[in-house]
Homo-oligomer: A and B are copies of this chain.
Amino acid sequence: MVLSPDAPSVLRIAVLGCGVVGTEVVRRLVTEADELAARTGAKLELVGVAVRSLDAERDPVVDRALLTTDAEALVARADVVVELMGGIEPARSLVLRAVEHGASVVTANKALLAQDGPALYQAADAAGVDLYFEAAVAGAIPIVRPVRESLAGDTVQRVLGIVNGTTNYVLDSMTTTGDGLDEAVAEAQALGYAEADPTADVEGYDAAAKAAILASLAFHTRVALDDVERAGITGLTAQDVEWAGRTGHVLKLLAVAERAQGDDGTAGVLVRVQPTLVPAEHPLAGVRQAFNAVFVEAEAAGELMFYGRGAGGAPTASAVLGDLVSVARHRVLGGKGPVESSHADLPVLDAGHARSRYQVRLEVDDRPGVLARVAHALADQHVSIESVRQTPRATGDDASATLVITTHTAPVRALRTTVDAVAALDVVRRVVSVLPVL
């Protein structure tokens, strides 16, 4: 490559956080130093690793002489800061401080981006430095770069996918073993797929943050975590998973970001995370264990799918290092990467504007005429039925049956009113579950 005479020959890299991902990033910086230098045009010199404790046990690849608890001082002497601490503070302050000092930032922090993305973007843009975050969404899978660069000349209609490996592992395990949620979460914890406090994953916060980031990029509109309608996998039972299978589906926690119409017909954006019944023949149904997969539907490109490891030290480090080489190349060759693109500024619609097929599972009296009465109640709300399946559960005087209704695509508001009307019928004992169908 042709370098200008004042191109730097060494770039000082600071890594904040030395957990599973941080350790793998350090490993590649050390073991692939020559290769990375050849690809970048400058030596990437690791000048420090900020940690909370100097005494914790660490992989020997991490040189103890580089450890520091003074992250603030570290970021002030770096050309590129790799933020892998997670959480809002002190990560936020350190990223802003790094940018003020003229350092580019690579981060995997989805929570921070979903909460404070615009402020970080603005600070980086004002300072003329890069803010890269491929590792924040879907681990090793290149999805941030394709959405914000490869599809920059196209119109994205919908982004949907499995972006949380922990919940996918749990649901896959429930599907395979018939276990309940608690056992499956405990197993995932034992295997390192779920954290000791699994709230961020099982309640869908992690997926919602990623959905907000993807929606912001895809629709050139600021979407924050609070804009995402979120339902996690808590509350799902072994029976929900079993019934999904009986009706030809697999239960998956999906993130969906799409263009939709508001009440007055104007264009808006709808972003949600929710357990969804995926038809068994759909590619997303085959995404097993902790893998991730994202579909992007764009006007010109059509449907694209991206699949790979959504978490783990080495895969996440791959994404971090890819960003690191990109921002380092900008230091060497000049220029910078894409900045925030929020000019479309579409309204974020509330979840009531969603349209979907739904599967409603009811426990009903097992006697003639029940199906007809339920069907009548649905028709009253103009919700069209695709299929109904009735299965007796017990016999005797108190005989009950399970009624599984799949609707055609309907507005969620009509569906809610309908479910209320159905629940009020005297033959309906209980609305067991209402789940969207992909």
B333 & A315 in contact (Cβ 8 Å cutoff): no
Q: Which residues of B contact A228 (CB under 8 A)?
A: none
Q: Which residue of the partner chain, among B299, B304, B333, B341, contacts A142 with CB atoms under 8 Å?
A: B304
Q: Which residue of the partner chain, among B140, B149, B343, contacts A302 with CB atoms under 8 Å?
A: B140
Q: Which residues of B contact A320 (CB under 8 A)?
A: 153
Q: Which residues of B contact A304 (CB under 8 A)?
A: 140-142, 306-308
Q: Which residue of the partner chain, among B141, B153, B301, B329, contacts A325 with CB atoms under 8 Å?
A: B153
Specify the chain B residue showing the minimal Cβ separation from A145. Answer: B150
Specify the chain B residue showing the minimal Cβ separation from A312. Answer: B302
B314 & A1 in contact (Cβ 8 Å cutoff): no
1/0 per residue, CB under 8 A from B, across A316-356: the answer is 01111111111001100111101111011000000000000
Q: Is A300 an interface residue (CB 8 A)?
A: yes
B338 & A329 in contact (Cβ 8 Å cutoff): yes
A330 to B58, CA, bound (A): 42
A146 to B144, CA, bound (A): 10
How many subunits of this chain does the assembly comprise? Answer: 2
Q: Is A56 an interface residue (CB 8 A)?
A: no
Q: Which residues of B contact A321 (CB under 8 A)?
A: 152-154, 300
Q: Which residues of B contact A152 (CB under 8 A)?
A: 39, 321-322, 325-326
B338 & A317 in contact (Cβ 8 Å cutoff): no
Specify the chain B residue showing the minimal Cβ separation from A337. Answer: B335
Known pairs A2-B125, A2-B128, A301-B318. 18 more at Cβ < 8 A? A1-B339, A35-B344, A39-B152, A39-B220, A145-B146, A153-B321, A153-B323, A154-B318, A154-B321, A299-B318, A302-B309, A304-B307, A304-B308, A306-B306, A306-B307, A329-B338, A335-B335, A335-B336
Q: List 21 A-B contacts (CB under 8 A).
A: A1-B125, A1-B339, A2-B126, A38-B343, A38-B344, A141-B304, A142-B145, A142-B304, A145-B145, A145-B146, A152-B326, A153-B318, A153-B321, A153-B323, A154-B318, A299-B314, A300-B317, A301-B308, A304-B308, A306-B307, A334-B335
A-to-B contact residues, CB < 8 Å: 1-2, 24, 28, 32, 35-36, 38-39, 125-126, 128, 134, 140-142, 145-146, 149-155, 220, 283, 286, 298-309, 314-315, 317-326, 329-330, 333-336, 338-341, 343-344
